[in-house]
Amino acid sequence: MGYKEIVAAAKKEGRTSLTEVESKEILKEAGIAITEIRLARTRDEALAAAREMGFPVVLKVVSPDVLHKTDAGGVKLDLKSEKAVGKAFDDIMAAMKKNEPKARIDGVAVQTMARPGVEVIIGMSKDPQFGPVLMFGLGGILVEVLKDVSFRIVPLVERDAREMIREIKGYPVLQGYRGQQPANVGILEDYLLKVSSLVDKSPEIKELDINPVFAYKDGAVAVDARVILES
């Protein structure tokens, strides 16, 4: 399903939150690398998807109503066998029944387990005065704790992307701090420009959150993503 079909389907169902599967499909269409992801509606489908992808895999609940999947018990990482996948599926469903009893559950997303990298976040929100504003910073829990982020108004030009990355205090981390592998900053600049372009031509998108992006020496991959549409 492409961008237009995904947005049309969500509108038809009267929802503004896209699932992670839908959000990542939109990013992939925009030219951003994503972890391989498949929707599994049943335990058997989850097992089959994991077998085809190869272990280890990650399972995450797919629901337009569960925004904080980890807090609700909807994420299981580094599953190395069919037995582990089956148990993870059962545990996620039990957690949803307990913690999110009213949520619509579409199934689970089975994903390849990305190798660790430097975590960064790319986000977009709309300012009442300036319109869409792009954000960049170190990702994972660091963004919540440090609030070390930079902002630019959409649409971005190359210089904006370059400056956004270099003006965060955590920039040395991307350069390979204390012997860690450096991140490919050129690819991150390219991703900022691609997200800017996507947002600029998609007024239906109200918010966008890619957190984390794992940045490597040889590339970068979106591990989690969330898109909210205008109501």
- What band does 131 get if pLDDT is binned at 50, 70 and 90? very high
The pTM of the full predicted model, rounded to 2 decimals, is 0.92
Instruction: Please give the average per-residue pLDDT across 81-108, as a whole number.
Output: 96
CA angle (102, 57, 97) in 5-degree steps: 15
The mean pLDDT value for 4-29 works out to: 95
Q: Is the pLDDT of residue 145 over 90?
A: no
Please measure the distance between the N-terminal and C-terminal CA atoms of the chain and give it in whole angstroms.
21
Q: How confident is the model at residue 142 (pLDDT cuts 50, 70, 90)?
A: low
pLDDT average, residue stretch 19-42: 96
Q: Domains of the chain by range and CATH?
A: 36-113 (3.30.1490.20), 118-229 (3.30.470.20)
Q: Please give the pLDDT value at position 83.
A: 97
Neighbours of 96 (CB within 10 A): 21
Q: DSSP H helical segments within 56-184, as ranges?
A: 82-99, 142-146, 158-166, 171-174
For 54-63, 141-150, 187-196, which range has the lowest pLDDT when averaged over its residues? 141-150
Which two three-digit tokens encode residue 83?
């037995």
